[in-house]
Amino acid sequence: MRVDLLQLFVILLLGGGGSAVSSDCKSYDERSKSAGKSLPSDRKVVCSNMELHQVLPPDSFPNRTVTLILSNNKIQELKNGSFIGLSTLERLDLRSNMISRIEPGAFLGLPALKRLDLSNNRIGCLNVDIFKGLTSLVKLNLSGNMFSSLSQGTFDSLVSLKALDFQTPYLLCDCNLLWLLRWIKDRNIAVKDTMCSYPRSLQGQLITSIKPELLTCDAPLELPSFQLTPSQRQVVFQGDSLPFQCQASFVAEDMQVLWYQDGRMVEPDAAQGIFIEKSMVQNCSLIASALTISNIQPGSTGNWECRVRTSRGNTTRTVHIVVLESSAKMNQCLLCKWF
């Protein structure tokens, strides 16, 4: 294979700083296995391990680029039209980046693209608009991302798709994936190596081998991820501020995160210095809530609980808090040893 170093002087915005550096991608002749099909001018461009924080502008690649490898960089976002102009591109490898956000239309202008690898990123949100324009796509790899489910119709624009991989450590095999199982069967899509991660009863089973009647939402709720911080018993002093964070996989539209102390629901109360902030984490896969007690009093001693409520049941995480009266503060170091 003839290797000539193509001079791609590109401006990379390095995280936060904004200092400009130039960098080279490598460009090769692309020799396709089916000889005769590829033109001598077909190019493969490799920009791996270059610490890229964003996709290079499409016009920085040579004419007739058919393969573009952008794996092992630090790309976090794919903007609308990121690849417009690469009309001959057949293979795009974005594996092992930090992509968490993909704008609708990110892959517009790639009418010839056959293989797209998005594996080992942080994608939580996927929808039909993201894949718009990929009418020739045959192979899609979504393994190793953050999502626990995929919503109906996500792949509707991929009319040529033949192979799909979507194994994730959070993949929850329940009634919400029934559509996908049916679609895979109807379209005769090859699904290799995609196993359920949750519920535990289906862990490690190939999704394609599961009987549809086992994909239910009747079983007790099992969350692929559910964390309360602090997670360990805490000793705090009267007057201190105590922040709690609770974060759970977002697996049902009706999910709520609620706070309890010793079984009683805790409501926001500014006068008492109790603040509650709810949020849907950007990437669709997590729901979070933060509780802060800004001026903690001895009455706050007890079991504090983050409860995730859905129509499918509840699950909780609890932490024990002990509040010491401020007169004890003088003996802080002595007391520290006791707790």
Ligand X SMILES: *[C@@H]1O[C@H](CO)[C@@H](O)[C@H](O)[C@H]1NC(C)=O
Site residues (CB under 6 A) for ligand X? 63, 80-81, 95, 100-101, 104-105, 119-120, 122, 124, 141, 143-144, 146, 165, 192, 258, 281-283, 286, 307, 309, 313-314
- Least separation in angstroms between CB 201 and ligand X: 19
Find the shortest distance in angstroms from Cβ 61 to ligand X. 10
Three-state SS for 101?
Answer: strand
If the CB atoms of residues 116 and 296 are measured against ligand X, the closer one turns out to be 116
Nearest CB to ligand X, comparing residues 164 and 215: 164
The residue among 256 and 326 lying less far from ligand X, judged by its C-beta, is: 256
Which of 119, 171, 126, 165 is CA-nearest to residue 148? 171
Residue nearer to ligand X on the CB measure, 140 or 324: 140
Sheet holding 226-229: strands in order across? Answer: 226-229, 242-249, 286-293, 274-280
| Smallest separation, CB 245 to ligand X (Å) | 11
Closest approach of ligand X to the CB of residue 336, in Å:
31
Spatial distance between the Cα atoms of 106 and 96, rounded to a whole number of angstroms: 18
Q: Which is nearer to ligand X, 196 or 296 (CB)?
A: 196
Sequence-ordered list of residues with C-beta below 8 angstroms from that of 270, at least 6 positions apart, any chain: none
Reading the block at residue 141, the tokens are 């790899």
Output the smallest distance, CB 6 to ligand X, in A.
Answer: 10
Burial class (CB in 10 A: 0-12, 13-18, 19+), 249: buried
Q: Report which residue type is found at 20.
A: A
